[in-house]
Structure 1
Amino acid sequence: NLVTPEMLSMMADRPIEFALSNPVPEIMPDIALASRDDLIMATGRSDFPNQVNNSLCFPFVFRGALDARAKRFDEAILIAAARALAELAREPVPQEVLDAYELTELSFGKEYIIPTQFDPRLIERIPPKVIEVVKQSNSNSE
């Protein structure tokens, strides 16, 4: 209860609440969402929509960094990974992801702003973006 509905009511239009404390978020999604129709909510938990967790990205970022033999790890790598996630979130969700969550439909919107950690496209999309950035960085530093 570190974040209250009253606090959410003071936010601008279409606020985003990242309640990432685990196991108990700063405000529970049902309470937060009941307080505002325009709220986008994310937590660190897999039992709520929009789970924000490092397992979603870091294995794939490191795969790309290792494959590219990166000598340093900088912000450009993380930005490339974030952009890959943003692109994926807007694409149709594969059937195997829907099956894993026992859903019939899932598309970009308030309930799905970020891919799930079970999305098989993560390994296909994030490492190549990281490799591309590392190669650009290496060629710029030569």
Structure 2
Amino acid sequence: MKFLTQHLYKIGFISEDDFYFFKIIHDVKAAVKEITGFYRIYHSARWVGGKLVIRIARALSAASVAELNNKFADVLRRGSIVQSKALPQERNEPEILALPRLVLTPHRRSFGRFRQLIDAINRAECA
């Protein structure tokens, strides 16, 4: 951590938001809680062209999607976060076609903000 803050951050190779991309945990129970919480609703993600498709275990409420759009407008290159079914390009993953999706067109930077988005998805109210 010292190297990250004193070298990479100091000279601008990483941003403050990048520190949200990971967590340092020193306790096994806390690590298990972190991992299971990470996959509470979030399942996986993939890029389809310029769109990020976030696969989720359960659909979110309309209010939750609206809240995500308000809190994470800064990560969007254009458009909004929309709840969707699988995109046609995802047919090659039939085992997860039924999962609901959140689709967005983000900037490809500030990946720490993506971690914050995943955390917000996992705290969101389901439909």
TM-score (norm 1): 0.26
Greater RCO (CA < 8 Å, at least 6 residues apart): 2
The normalised TM-score by structure 2 is 0.28
Larger Rg: 1 or 2? 1
